[in-house]
Structure 1
Amino acid sequence: MKTKIKIIGSLLFAFLLFAYLNFFSSFVFPWQKMEAIQTTLNWGGLAELPKVTENLTVEKDGGIFTRSFKIQFKANQSEINSWISKSKRLKDNLPKVKGERKIFDIYPGEKESFGENVTVEKGMVTIRMSWS
């Protein structure tokens, strides 16, 4: 009887941990990564990421009724400029410039998303998109 309770308790704990990580933490599981990237690009009206990127990270935030994604990557400046010129919502968007940082605001986003911004600084690109 105690063994069954331990097994059921362990399974319940594992399920709750997985549910928490899946819905409420910033952790993106490997099988969610490509979908998160594609969703972020769609919400921002952005082109596919450059073929050669380094240090690609994907984070999520929010809960059941809201979701936001943050994608960060490094690329050389010519790849970034090409990506900007191919992106529907960036190519004609004048950025705010603060030193070496360029901030492209995207409000509202595509697909009824809230939008947010794309920041480019010294070869590092940060994309933030939200939906609520």
Structure 2
Amino acid sequence: MLLTVVGYFYLQSANYHSALDATKEWAQLNEFPVTATNLTVETQGNMFTREFTVEFDAPLADIENWLRKSPGTNSVTPTTDGDVRHYDIDPGGGAQHAELELDESQGHVKIHTYWS
């Protein structure tokens, strides 16, 4: 029983890190800012599709620096709606879609990407 529980948590951790790696590859993003907190990962799909939504909070200056240094966002001119910036990212790694939203007032980032 203990091995089953340990195995479950090991796979959960492996899936979590795999989702983060795929999100960064597909959205062509550098490592998230070291100040990122409240990191969440949502995974959807099956053997034919895969979709990830990753969210985190960080100080706005750190997010700005990260966006400037990330290949997927550094040459994109975002659209804005109030305090929210939307980046349509040219996806990498075989993904069909990648986008990022930054809520400047909250220092909140939401990344959505998928492959099918």
**TM-score scaled to structure 1, two decimals?**
0.75
Q: State how many pairs are aligned.
A: 106
Please say if 1:104 is aligned against 2:84.
no
Corresponding residue for residue 99 of structure 2: 117
Report the Cα offset of residue 34 of structure 1: 1.3
Report the Cα offset of residue 116 of structure 1: 2.5
Q: Pairwise mapping of residues 17-96 of structure 1 onto structure 2 (< 5 A)?
A: 29-96=12-79
Kindly indicate which of the two structures has a greater share of residues assigned to strand. 2
Distance 1:31 1:89 in 2: 25
Give CA-to-partner distance per residue, 1:73-96, whole Å, 9 cap, x none: 000001100110111010110011
Provide the identity percentage: 30
- Name stretches of at least 5 consecutive residues in structure 2 with no aligned partner: 1-7
**Bigger RCO (CA 8 Å, 6+ sep):** 2
Report the Cα offset of residue 30 of structure 1: 2.2
AA of the residue aligned to 2:98:
E
Q: Is the 8 A contact 2:26 2:98 kept in 1?
A: no
Distance 2:57 2:16 in 1: 17
Kindly indicate which of the two structures has a greater share of residues assigned to helix. 1
AA of the residue aligned to 1:113:
A
**TM-score scaled to structure 2, two decimals?**
0.85
The alignment's C-alpha RMSD in Å is 1.7
In our comparison, the structure showing a higher alpha carbon Rg is 1
Report the Cα offset of residue 72 of structure 1: 0.3
Corresponding residue for residue 131 of structure 1: 115
SS at match of 1:37: helix
